[in-house]
Amino acid sequence: IYGETGKANGKSTVVAPFNETTSKHFSVVSDLYWDNLSIDIELSAFRTGSNIADKADGAIIVHYLPGKGGVGLLIYPGSNGIQFGLIDSFREWTLLDSTFVKGSNFTFDFIYNPYAIRVEVRGDTYLAYINGELITSATIPDYDYGLTGLWMSTNSNINDPDIYAPRFEYITIESLP
């Protein structure tokens, strides 16, 4: 585990001591190396009316290889969007701009409601669904298998823990043919 993630009120989130800076956290959810798979997660709603900062982001990590990096679906509650990206071994992101989708173009807002997020991977095809609707996809070679995990970036506005970091629950990983 990299960073201090854990459970708070039954949800996977950042549990590191609060400080005055933005910080990044990564944890492996399963120690199995997966190839074709689906990951289902519920992103908890932020408190109604919260002014979400852009840095309180999260990601579902798919096919992470230590020393190489991997693929993830980034979730931006503050800017209300999602996109695929590549995370390197230093846990820095290269974003796949063509996969960015803003919630206003669909029917998700991340701030007021919980959302069921699903990522499916078959070969080099990555699909992202929100509440059963296909939202974005990507073809990403070179990551046929790997570990799964969660990545979170905390908001520097620590005065309100409701907007400090994303909160994930009901994590299910299944093998696909």
pLDDT per residue as tens digits for the range 70-89? 999 988 766 678 999 999 98
Q: Which residue has the tokens 């009901």?
A: 170
pLDDT per residue as tens digits for the range 98-110? 999 988 777 777 7
Q: What is the mean pLDDT of the chain?
A: 78
% pLDDT > 90, the chain: 40
**Number of helices (H) and strands (E), helices first, in the chain?**
0, 14
| pLDDT at res. 150 | 85
Better-predicted residue by pLDDT, 160 or 28: 28
Q: Which long-range contacts (CB under 8 A, 24 or more apart) does 159-165 make?
A: 160/47, 160/50, 161/18, 162/46, 162/47, 162/50, 163/46, 163/47, 163/50, 163/51, 163/52, 163/53, 163/56, 164/13, 164/14, 164/18, 164/56, 165/13, 165/14, 165/25, 165/56, 165/58
Q: 89 near 67, Cβ under 8 Å? A: yes
pLDDT per residue as tens digits for the range 122-145? 999 999 999 999 999 999 999 999
| pLDDT at res. 138 | 97
| pLDDT at res. 91 | 79
CA 164 and chain centroid, separation: 15
Phi then psi dihedrals of residue 149, to 5 deg? -170, -170
CA separation for the pair 60, 118 (Å, rounded): 9
Q: In the 8-state DSSP scheme, what is residue 2?
A: B
22-49 mean pLDDT = 76
161-174 mean pLDDT = 71
| pLDDT at res. 5 | 58
Neighbour-count burial for 36-63, b at 16+ CB within 10 Å, e otherwise: ebbbbbbbbbbeeebebbebbbbbbbbb
pLDDT per residue as tens digits for the range 39-82? 999 887 654 444 444 556 788 999 999 999 999 998 876 667 89
| pLDDT at res. 132 | 93
